[in-house]
A and B are shown apart, each in its own frame.
Chain A
Amino acid sequence: MAWLNDEGQWIILMGFIISVGIFFLALLVNQSILVGQTTAEAVLDFPKSDIQDLRNEVWVIYSRYNNTPSEQDKVIRDIEVISLIKKNAVVNITPGMWRVHYFNGITNYTEVIYDANNTFFYFYY
């Protein structure tokens, strides 16, 4: 058995404490970089632009075809069918009440854009 020198034990102990501290700091740095990735992925997954565009298009349909219901129905059918095939999203537009429903399996969104029978709430536009 080799003879052990028992001097400098405090120095060794401090060395251990500091190394453990650096180890945990490195773990924190490692995790913090992933935060930007998950945030960007969440933003990319959420169909913000799809919903904004759909609202805008419903306003366009309302302003152009409000007096011709037969044209209205055809254009709404265009949006509903193309959404289902190209965007994997169920879209339902109810004219008159102008209720918009959007569902792509994750995000579920419903809004009454303009209720023609109850215009009281829309004076501030």
Chain B
Amino acid sequence: MVNTEGQLYTIEGIAASVLVMTTIYLVLSTTTILTPGETHVYDMQLEQLGNDILAVMDLNQTWVDNGYGYAKSPLQCYIEKDDGPGFGHRFLTLGKQTIGEENVAEINFIAIVTYRSGANINTYIFNSTRDYSRERAVKVTRWVNVNDNHSNSHLDNRNQTVLLEVLLWRG
């Protein structure tokens, strides 16, 4: 049968259980929220790495004038010769220079060249390691000035600036 004794003990028990459950929830949520905060930091580092690689590749390796009135950077030479594989090899070599882990890092990319032809903007795939399937990727870009005396069949025969975009991801 139902009796009315011990009502305050029952209420105290319910209050204590609510307190314990709230504490457990707070403790668990503080440990699991670590992950989403970290991934953005890794994206930031990867983007900086990609921009640094392109900046290094866009530096002239010599001050010698090779007949154009200026020295060319490796990046400009790769695009003028349409040498996608050469670019990709150099890019990955520079990207995997971490001390103690040379050539171990899993870095993949797709490089795209965008150029203007009259009133049209066209794009072609310069080089890629494999297809992109929705990994966490960052995009880095670099303007490259190309001489009119180039051998790239995609581009018009004139002095121009093209945009090199590299989609970059780990894994």
Residues on A lying within 8 angstroms of B by beta carbon are 1-2, 4, 19, 22-23, 26-27, 29-30, 33-34, 36-37, 40-41, 43-44, 49-50, 53-54, 56-57, 60-61, 63-65, 71, 74-75, 77-79, 81-82, 85-87
| Whole-angstrom distance between the Cβ of A28 and the nearest chain B Cβ | 10
* Chain B interface category by residue count: 35 or more
> Are A33 and B140 CB-contacts (below 8 A) given A2-B9, A57-B145, A79-B161?
no
Proximity bits, B47-61, A CB within 8 Å = 1, else 0? 100010000001000
Q: Which residue of A lies closest to B37 (CB)?
A: A37
Residues on B lying within 8 angstroms of A by beta carbon are 4-9, 19, 22-23, 26-27, 29-30, 33-34, 36-38, 40-41, 43-44, 47, 51, 58, 69-70, 114-116, 121, 138, 140-143, 145, 158-163, 165
Whether the pair B159, A71 counts as a contact (CB closer than 8 A) is: yes
> In the complex, A30 Cα to B22 Cα: how many Å?
14
Closest 3 pairs (CB-CB, A-B):
A40-B40, A37-B37, A57-B143
Q: Which residue of A lies closest to B142 (CB)?
A: A53
> Are A50 and B141 CB-contacts (below 8 A) given A4-B8, A36-B38, A75-B160?
yes
Specify which chain A residues have a CB less than 8 angstroms from the CB of B116 in the assembled complex. Answer: 77-78, 81-82
